[in-house]
Amino acid sequence: MFINNAKISSVLERGGTVVVPSRQRAAAIRLAHTVAQLDRKLEHWGSCDVLPWSAWLERMAATARHGALRGLRRLSATEEWLAWRAASVAASASAGMLMPASLADALRRSAARVRDGALQWPGSPTGESALLRQASASMARVCRERGAVLGDDWPLLLRDAPVSPVPLLLAGFEELGPALKARLAELGAHFDDSASAATAAAPAAVPADELVAASDRDDELRRAAQWSRRLLERDAGARLLVIVPQLAQCRAMAIQAFEHALNGSELLSGLEAQRRFAVEGGVPLTEYPLVAAALALLALGSEGLEFAELATLLRGSFLRCGTPAARAALELRLRDRNVLHADVRQLLDVVRTAAADWSGGLESALGAMLPALTRAAAAPARAGDWARHFAAQLALWGWPGTQALDSAEQQQRERFETLLGEFATLDRTTGLTSAAAAVQLLRAMAARTRFEAATDDTAVTISAESGDPLVHYDGIWVTGLDAERWPAPAQPDPFIPLAVQRAAQLPGASPEGQLMVAKQRLAAWRARAGMLVLSQACNDGDVQLQPSRLLPWPDSQPEHAEAPLPIALEDPLLAALRAGAVLEPRPEERALVWPAERNLPGGTRALDLQAACPFRALAELRLEAAPLPEPRPGLDPRERGQVLHQALEHVWRELKGSAALRRCDAAALQALARQATTRALSALLAKRSTPLPASLQANESARTASLIVLLLEQEKARADFSIDALEASSVHGLAGAQIKVRMDRVDRLDDGRYTVIDYKSGTPLKFDAVDERPQYVQLLAYAALMPAPLAGVAGVHLRPDGIAWRGAAEDVTVFPLLAVRRGPPLPWVEVLPFARRVVAGLVSGFVSGDAAVAPRAGACEHCHLPGLCRIDSTRLALEETAMAPAGLSDES
């Protein structure tokens, strides 16, 4: 890396100042200058004066404090953002816009364009330009009231500035308004026009060392990473630049590609990898787990947290509150109780309901936190007071935990504490705010703050900046140069009339302007690169992309949708892992024999899982790898099922059979269903940690009652029956094992036969009485275990869209609404022995320890264990094809 820009080198050699658009470009020039001095064998030299535009304006503001800024102060970046946000809301008040505060950054950029170009337009303003004028007037009024000035108000900051005593050069700027450029020229500034000169001298199509077509964006990044590796293997001292214009959307993908390509050998050997690449620009501070934990703790102490964020906090290591095991147990308890949102008081209530030896110090820690939080949240306070309270609150939580922080985490902590200091200066801006509002503002500030931990000099720099790199690199690779993105489409400013923008020749206002910018960048890359590679992805999801006409693609380059895509390169780390794999004989998929004296775990669920996949039955019921419940708004499916079962139990304990049912008219049935539902719902809500809103209670009650009434009307068509048992549990012996079953309802018909009914609130299951691997094993188990005489088994699925009956019966009068299976029905006398054989086989398989990864067709679609069983996708597709039932269709 070295400076091959004659103007920049000349200014720096003469002790002048170079101003560039960004901190990244300034850092690159400083590094190149240092390398140049070392190459000259110098032992000491003066620091080069290279500043980003914002830092140079700050320097000029410091010199103007005794002149143009006498008695005025510059608004901080956060104060200015908040002021623009308030101005946006005020200006949009009559427009009926959604989220008007989100316009703040766009309005600020538009106001800067108007100021930098001294733009004016006559006539009546458009709706958008009127909004800009109102917001700008509001900002001017705020500055007058506060005795302040905007941070980028260069007309005032540079009003009394003298001519620069040293050479002053502005380099790398693609858009400088004429008014700003004229004022800088008055101060003696010069402008680097090397990109424009190179563009004028370049041929129509600037050549590149290589043009690369990749299959997709992931493949494009892998190719760039492997190109970097090849160059570094040739020359370890090479310095490379990879430009990824859409870096914000594919940052994680880029890091993985370069980590695997450049540091793969260290990762495979277990050695600590030396970082050979750096990603410019940083990410929002909120994306770092350490900072996210701090913000979550502050929110927990004010307005509470949604479960997903709360679970992440409890599983993390950035707090000292209870033991990790106790926090994990608390998370499971919150899941089990369907707690979607909680604050410290609610967490304490949940912990106090647990056993004394369970909390692991959580109760005492939360109990100590609650009084301090309650006192702090009692009244609104100013930002400075909240900043001190937040710092004290984080200390009480023990943030950032007991584990030692690495260098990057320590820098993240320091940056967050600096941000907390910036928040403390907002007293005049925010006034009195509540605890919740203060936390939301601090979170918004963190989301706007992009941060990247400082690293040593690296060989490869990944950047989103497409402008002139300003320094020479041994190699530059530019991605994303397809026809849709290169040249970029016109992007006119939404708040300035289009005619005004085009008259001022703003580059983004027209395709011609964007074409000129693209040509200038292309020439700059060519001038700054020892080797230039330009690439595009041919595919973006399901959309095939065309190559840019601005680049000299060869005639063989595919340009039509029917052209074949390039073959994607393989990830080198994954390829090395596969190549170095050692195959071992796989042990027999069998667990220990289940003890005969113990009931099968889970009752009939063990048989359901064994039929779906023996491995899943083993994992869930023996290894306890059960899926965790996920809290959701309202009642979750388990709670909804509990309400339904209890309500129906109340109904049938009242009716006792079909005789009383037929005596009830529609009004009586509705009253009975409402009463039973209210009792069941009240019992459930009494056990919940969080209340259910009254509107949701009313909806759940009405929905459940209406389904019960519909079911009762359908049951009037059945043959006469009386209730023999409700929610009855019993233990049965089968195939040398004990299995406990709980039957929702057993009816006794007038002729002495019995029926079994099972209630479900989920999606109707397919029931096939001749399926060797049935989906609805529970009904077959009831048929196999229920003593004779049994007339039928049925599953009743009560769904918001209606009621579905599944099962089998001796005759149509037993269950008239059973779904009819296509083809000749299986005689009832054959169903019972078939059910006993299938259920006995499933019991034997579970007891003997059968744990084969052999899923039933479709069983993997809703399974949570693919990472544990590691079933091969090709094998799965073949098995699902082979297992698909032939000649059968789903029941109606």
Closest by CA to 664, choosing from 703, 597, 619, 709, is 709
pLDDT in tens, 46-98: 889 999 999 999 999 888 887 888 888 888 889 999 999 999 999 888 777 78
What's the CA gap between 642 and 759, in Å, rounded?
Answer: 10
User: Which residues are registered as beta bridge partners of 537?
Assistant: 214
CATH class of this structure's domain 592-628+717-892: alpha beta
For position 540, what pLDDT does the model report?
87
Average pLDDT over residues 360-374: 83
Q: Beta-carbon neighbour count of residue 768 at 10 Å?
A: 19
User: Which residues are registered as beta bridge partners of 737?
Assistant: 734
**SS3 label, residue 851:** coil
Judged against a pLDDT cut of 70, whether residue 1 lies above it is answered with: no
What's the CA gap between 12 and 7, in Å, rounded?
Answer: 9
pLDDT in tens, 165-210: 999 999 999 888 999 999 999 999 999 877 666 665 555 555 567 8
Residue ranges per domain, the chain? 6-64+161-192, 73-157, 210-281+456-493+503-544, 283-451, 592-628+717-892, 631-715
CA triple 557-563-568, angle to 5 deg = 80
For position 586, what pLDDT does the model report?
67
Closest by CA to 144, choosing from 71, 57, 65, 64, is 71
Query: Tokens representing 868?
Result: 């544990």
Check: CB of residue 487 under 8 Å from CB of residue 548. Answer: yes
Closest by CA to 535, choosing from 269, 89, 215, 836, is 215
**SS3 label, residue 240:** strand
Helices (H) then strands (E): counts for the chain: 33, 23
What's the CA gap between 433 and 428, in Å, rounded?
Answer: 12
Residues in contact with 370: Cβ distance below 8 Å, sequence separation at least 6, in sequence order: 344, 345, 348
Judged against a pLDDT cut of 50, whether residue 883 lies above it is answered with: no
**Residue 202 identity:** A
Instruction: Return contacts of 302-305, CB within 8 angstroms, 24+ apart.
Output: 302/343, 302/373, 302/377, 302/434, 302/435, 302/436, 302/438, 302/439, 303/343, 303/435, 303/436, 303/439, 304/341, 304/342, 304/343, 304/344, 304/346, 305/341, 305/342, 305/343
For position 386, what pLDDT does the model report?
93
What's the CA gap between 129 and 19, in Å, rounded?
Answer: 31
Query: Tokens representing 129?
Result: 């330009």
pLDDT in tens, 450-479: 998 877 778 899 999 999 999 999 999 999
pLDDT in tens, 218-269: 999 999 999 999 999 999 889 999 999 999 899 999 999 999 998 877 766 6
The rounded Cα 673 to chain-centroid distance in angstroms is 43
Tell me the pLDDT band of 887, cut-offs 50, 70 and 90.
very low
Q: Beta-carbon neighbour count of residue 560 at 10 Å?
A: 7
For position 576, what pLDDT does the model report?
80
The 3-class secondary structure across 279-330, one letter per residue, is ECCCEEHHHCHHHHHHHHHHHHCCCCEEHHHHHHHHHCCCCCCCCHHHHHHH
Share of the chain above pLDDT 90, in %: 46
What's the CA gap between 775 and 612, in Å, rounded?
Answer: 7
For residue 51, give the H/E element and its range.
strand 49-52
Judged against a pLDDT cut of 60, whether residue 559 lies above it is answered with: no
Assigned fold of 210-281+456-493+503-544: Rossmann fold (3.40.50)
Region of poorest pLDDT, from 229-233, 327-331, 541-545, 587-591:
587-591
Residue 368 CA neighbour count, 13 Å, CB half: 12
Tell me the pLDDT band of 874, cut-offs 50, 70 and 90.
very low
Tell me the pLDDT band of 886, cut-offs 50, 70 and 90.
very low
For position 272, what pLDDT does the model report?
63
DSSP designation for 764: P
Beta pairing, strands 73-74 & 737-749: unpaired
pLDDT in tens, 512-527: 999 999 999 999 999 9
What's the whole-number average pLDDT of the chain? Answer: 86
Instruction: Return contacts of 183-187, CB within 8 angstroms, 24+ apart.
Output: 183/154, 183/155, 183/158, 184/158, 187/158, 187/161, 187/162, 187/163
Residues in contact with 789: Cβ distance below 8 Å, sequence separation at least 6, in sequence order: 752, 753, 754
pLDDT in tens, 674-688: 999 999 999 999 888
Residues in contact with 403: Cβ distance below 8 Å, sequence separation at least 6, in sequence order: 317
Share of the chain above pLDDT 70, in %: 92
Domains 210-281+456-493+503-544 and 592-628+717-892 share a fold: no
Higher per-residue pLDDT: 273 or 647: 647
Tell me the pLDDT band of 555, cut-offs 50, 70 and 90.
low
Judged against a pLDDT cut of 60, whether residue 846 lies above it is answered with: yes
For position 890, what pLDDT does the model report?
34
Q: Crossing angle of helices 407-424/289-300, nearest 10°? A: 40
For position 201, what pLDDT does the model report?
58
**SS3 label, residue 883:** helix
Residue 302 CA neighbour count, 13 Å, CB half: 26
**Sequential DSSP letters for 652-677:** HHHH-BHHHHHH--HHHHHHHHHHHH
Average pLDDT over residues 623-649: 90
Average pLDDT over residues 337-357: 84
Tell me the pLDDT band of 285, cut-offs 50, 70 and 90.
very high
What's the CA gap between 590 and 194, in Å, rounded?
Answer: 73
Question: Is residue 247 classed exposed, middle or buried when 0-12, 13-18 and 19+ CB atoms within 10 A define those classes?
Answer: buried
Closest by CA to 747, choosing from 882, 657, 646, 856, is 657
Average pLDDT over residues 595-607: 89
Q: How far is the CA of 453 from the CAs of 1, 25, 203, 407, 479, in angstroms? A: 22, 17, 41, 8, 25
Tell me the pLDDT band of 885, cut-offs 50, 70 and 90.
very low
Check: CB of residue 453 under 8 Å from CB of residue 487. Answer: no
Region of poorest pLDDT, from 142-156, 474-488, 572-586, 741-755:
572-586
For position 668, what pLDDT does the model report?
94
Rg of the chain, C-alpha, whole Å: 36
For position 560, what pLDDT does the model report?
44
Scored b (16 or more CB within 10 A) or e, 855-874 reads bbbebbeebebeeebebeee
Question: Is residue 652 classed exposed, middle or buried when 0-12, 13-18 and 19+ CB atoms within 10 A define those classes?
Answer: buried
Judged against a pLDDT cut of 80, whether residue 881 lies above it is answered with: no
Phi, psi values for residue 309, rounded to 5°:
-70, -35
